[in-house]
Amino acid sequence: MNIKEFKVKFGNVSLSPGDKELDYMDKNKRLELMNSLFSAYVQDTYEKSTFFRNHLKNKKIDPKKVFKPEDLKDVLLGKNTLALISADELLPDEYINNFDKGLDKLEFPLRIGKTFSSSGSTGRPAEVYYTSKDWDNTKAAIIRTMHHIPLKEWSRTFNGFHQGHVAGKIYEDAFNMGGSLVKNSHFTSTNDSDSINQIIKGKSNALCVPADSGKVSKGGDLKNMLVADIDNIIGKQIRVIITTGGPRQQYLIDQVHKRNELAGANFKTKFIDMAGCAEVLPTVSECEFNSGMHIMPGIINVEVINPKTLKHVKNGERGLLIYTGFKQGSRFIRYIVGDEATFIDEPCKCGRTTPRVKDLQRVIDIQRFEEGCGVWK
């Protein structure tokens, strides 16, 4: 399957989320393309969604005069607002009007194909809808981020996420599409010894797991799997570890590389950290140099803003991440999930020209920020 065939299209603006050239093109050219897509998306959402249309009217914003995210400086969607509305209100009207009648009258790629709840790690869980087209575009973008790793190194991937979790399902589907045989964990509780046994039996050479599940149950995690792995199967067998669902600590990388050496392996396990949220799915991803997570243009627009001035930060400064997911289903325009990171806008050793974010963390006091800047009042 050619992932370049998938298209994100709004108005007259179209691009392929599976095209790796998005990561290497001149950054000014890419910025112009992403601004055009953002503008078209806002206009499309204004026309199709009563909720967003009413809000922009209340703000006296003409969508035809929105050419870039900065033109919506005072429009930020936060958890406080989500707590006051139903999930359906973030959908275009045609979906809301057809839910009770059935969605079979809609063109197949635009039918609602998936629905998930966020984990609730930053507050009340949010219900999110994806069309079949949204899901395919997201899979294509994930596979694009893995193009620098030979498939033979992740041809048998063990997926440690619970299948009810959005990360578990999207990575299973994406890696399948990329050519990997995916073995899903079958346990219903966090049983890391069982995970190790499944890795042995499935001859897995890659892991896709949370780094540390913490208080939110996402499945088996790398931290506890290393404790359970008394025979050093990870050090002997695993060539690639994809972590997501929470910050990954350097000591975990050091532990695995030490295990590689003890096993006499002729390779060092590669680490790829991805981050995102159920509302907009993957947003940033590491390359092989682990020097920050590259923003993933195509399915999403990511801004890093100063929480006091609401202006974009400069290279090397920390700020809040603002997400706009280019989906046909649930619309999230300039969404605050509570991620904070350092913005890096300089060349990467891998050759990609995309901006990066580093030291990503979840902001605990996100509610105070929302109230302070008048989010969606």
Helix, strand or coil, per DSSP, at residue 17? coil
pTM of the model: 0.90
All residues at 6 or more sequence positions from 174 whose CB lies less than 8 Å from its CB, including other chains: 138, 139, 142, 143
Q: How many whole angstroms separate alpha carbon 229 and alpha carbon 81?
A: 44
Taken as a whole, the chain contains a residue count of: 377
Domains in the chain, CATH or no CATH each: 3-111+295-373 (3.40.50.12780), 149-276 (3.40.50.2300)
Burial degree of 105 (CB within 10 A; 0-12, 13-18, 19+): exposed
What pLDDT score was predicted for residue 215?
Answer: 45
Within 10 Å of residue 249's Cβ, how many Cβ atoms? 14
For 125, the 3-state DSSP assignment is coil
Buried b (16+ CB within 10 A) or exposed e, 131-164: bbbbbbbbbbbbbbbbeebeeebbbbbbbbbbee
State the DSSP H helix or E strand holding residue 357, giving kind and residue range, or none if neither.
strand 356-362
Strands 281-286 and 270-277: antiparallel
| DSSP-assigned letters across all residues of 189-205 | S--HHHHHHHHHHTT--
Residue 291 identity: S
- Any idea what the Cα angle at residue 142 is, between residues 76 and 191, rounded to 5°? 95
Distance CA 218, CA 170 (A): 13
Looking up tokens 């913490």, which residue turns up? 214
- Amino acid, res. 272: I
CA dihedral 113→119→330→334, nearest 10 degrees, is -150
Taking only the tens of pLDDT, the chain with its 377 residues reads 677 788 999 999 999 999 999 999 999 999 999 999 999 999 999 999 999 999 999 999 999 999 999 999 888 888 777 777 888 889 999 888 877 666 666 666 677 878 887 665 555 667 889 999 999 999 999 999 898 899 999 999 999 887 777 888 899 999 999 999 999 876 544 568 888 988 999 999 999 998 876 544 555 788 889 999 999 999 999 999 999 877 788 899 999 999 999 999 999 999 999 988 888 888 899 998 999 999 999 899 999 999 889 999 999 999 999 999 999 999 999 999 888 999 999 989 999 999 999 998 877 555 555 555 545 44
- Tokens linked to 50: 């009563």
Contact 238, 205 (CB under 8 A): yes
